[in-house]
C-alpha cells in the first residue's frame, strides 16, 4: 500500500512521542545514567525496536515515514530501500512495502565467508537508495551503511530515522558533509513534552533531562562520560 495522506508534521511528532511512551520504549533516569556506545552518559534511553511488537503502532509509524518522505523528498526519488543491520532491516521491509519499492539490507561489515557480501539483495549500479534506521544519534552508524552502499555503486542522497536525537550539532555537520538529507519523524523534544504534559516524572527528573538535551556533552562530562563526540 502506498501512503498518500500527509498529516501535519507536529501532529506526527507528537503522536510518535505518545506511542513511544505508551509501549514503554522510553526511559528517563537521572540518578543512574545510561552509557551509550560513544561513551556519552545520558539520563535518557530509547528502544525503537519495540515498535515492531505493536502492529497498530508500527503501521501508523510507517504511514508517517512514508508521508514524510513523499512530502519532503518527492514521489519518484528512490529506486530501493536499504535497512541497516540489524534494527533497520524490518523497518526497511515495512517501508519498501508502503512505497512499492525493492528492499536490500546492509551489514555493518562483510560477513567474512561465502561471497563475503556486505549488501544482501539486488542492487544495480546507479540505483538511488534510501537508507533507513530506527533511530540515529549523530549519524555514525547510518553512514556505515551509506558508505557501503556508495562503495557498491549505489547513489544515496537521503536517509531516514524514525527517531532523531536532534541534540548534537555534530550530527547536522556529518549529514551536511556527507551530502545526505536526513528525514525523521520525532525527536527528544517531543518525548520530553509528552512526559511533562502527562506528568510522568517528578520535576527534578524532567529538569535533568532538559539540561541534558540543552547541553548533552556538558551533562555527560558532569556525570562521568565523554565531553566530545568524534565524527
Q: Locate 129 and state its grid cell.
A: 537508495
Q: Is residue 167 part of a domain?
A: yes
- Which pLDDT tens digit goes with each residue over 200-216? 999 999 999 999 999 99
Please give the distance of CA 126 from its chain centroid, rounded to a whole number.
Answer: 25
In terms of Cβ atoms closer than 10 Å to its own Cβ (0-12, 13-18, 19+), residue 114 is: exposed
Which residues pair with residue 34 across a beta bridge?
A: 42
Q: Is residue 111 part of a domain?
A: yes
- What lies within 8 Å, CB to CB, of 114 at 6+ separation is none
Cα–Cα distance measured from residue 54 to residue 49, given in angstroms and rounded to the nearest whole number: 10
- What φ, ψ does residue 46 adopt, rounded to 5°? -140, 145
What mean pLDDT is predicted for residues 49-57?
97
- The residue with greater pLDDT, 20 or 117, is 20
Q: Is residue 2 part of a domain?
A: no
Q: Is residue 187 part of a domain?
A: yes
Q: What is the mean pLDDT of the chain?
A: 94
pLDDT at 9: 96
What mean pLDDT is predicted for residues 127-135?
97
Sign of CA dihedral 201, 207, 210, 215: negative
Answer yes or no: is pLDDT of 125 > 90: yes
Domain CATH code at residue 97: 3.40.50.2020
222 and 43 Cβ atoms separated by less than 8 Å: no
- Which pLDDT tens digit goes with each residue over 70-83? 999 999 999 999 99
Answer yes or no: is pLDDT of 113 > 60: no
Q: Is residue 224 part of a domain?
A: no
Q: Is residue 163 part of a domain?
A: yes
pLDDT at 112: 61
- What φ, ψ does residue 184 adopt, rounded to 5°? -160, 165
- Which pLDDT tens digit goes with each residue over 100-110? 999 999 999 88
216 and 167 Cβ atoms separated by less than 8 Å: yes
The fraction of the chain above a pLDDT of 70, given in percent, is 95
Measured CA to CA in angstroms, residue 224 lies from 31, 218, 221 at distances of: 12, 10, 5
Of 127, 125, 116, 129, the closest CA to residue 159 belongs to 129
Cα–Cα distance measured from residue 149 to residue 147, given in angstroms and rounded to the nearest whole number: 6
Please give the distance of CA 20 from its chain centroid, rounded to a whole number.
Answer: 13
**Residue the block writes with cell 551503511:** 145
Of 147, 148, 189, 169, the closest CA to residue 17 belongs to 189
Instruction: State the Cα angle at 21 between 169 and 31, rounded to 5°.
Output: 70
Domain around 123: 9-218
pLDDT at 3: 59
The fraction of the chain above a pLDDT of 90, given in percent, is 88
Q: Is residue 155 part of a domain?
A: yes
Q: Is residue 231 part of a domain?
A: no
pLDDT at 145: 96
Cα–Cα distance measured from residue 89 to residue 87, given in angstroms and rounded to the nearest whole number: 6
**Total number of domains in the chain:** 1
Answer yes or no: is pLDDT of 2 > 80: no
Amino acid at each position: 500500500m502506498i501512503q498518500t495522506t500527509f498529516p501535519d508534521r507536529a501532529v506526527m511528532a507528537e503522536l510518535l512521542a505518545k506511542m513511544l511512551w505508551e509501549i514503554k520504549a522510553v526511559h528517563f533516569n537521572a540518578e543512574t545514567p545510561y552509557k551509550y556506545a560513544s561513551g556519552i552518559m545520558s539520563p535518557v534511553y530509547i528502544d525503537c525496536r519495540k515498535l515492531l511488537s505493536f502492529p497498530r503502532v508500527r503501521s501508523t509509524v510507517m504511514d508517517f515515514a512514508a508521508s514524510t518522505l513523499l512530502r519532503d523528498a518527492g514521489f519518484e526519488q528512490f529506486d530501493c530501500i536499504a535497512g541497516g543491520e540489524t534494527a533497520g532491516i524490518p523497518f526497511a521491509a515495512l517501508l519498501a512495502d508502503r512505497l512499492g519499492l525493492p528492499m536490500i539490507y546492509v551489514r555493518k561489515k562483510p560477513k567474512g565467508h561465502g561471497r563475503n557480501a556486505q549488501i544482501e539483495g539486488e542492487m544495480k549500479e546507479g540505483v538511488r537508495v534510501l537508507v533507513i534506521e530506527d533511530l540515529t544519534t549523530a549519524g555514525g552508524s547510518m553512514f556505515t551503511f551509506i558508505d557501503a552502499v556508495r562503495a557498491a555503486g549505489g547513489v544515496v542522497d537521503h536517509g531516514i530515522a524514525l527517531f532523531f536525537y536532534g541534540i548534537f550539532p555534530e550530527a547536522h555537520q556529518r549529514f551536511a558533509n556527507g551530502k545526505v538529507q536526513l528525514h525523521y519523524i520525532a525527536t527528544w523534544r517531543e518525548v520530553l513534552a509528552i512526559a511533562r504534559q502527562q506528568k510522568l516524572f517528578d520535576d527534578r527528573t524532567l529538569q535533568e533531562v532538559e539540561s541534558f538535551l540543552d547541553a548533552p556533552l556538558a551533562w555527560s562530562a558532569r556525570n562521568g562520560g565523554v565531553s566530545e563526540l568524534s565524527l
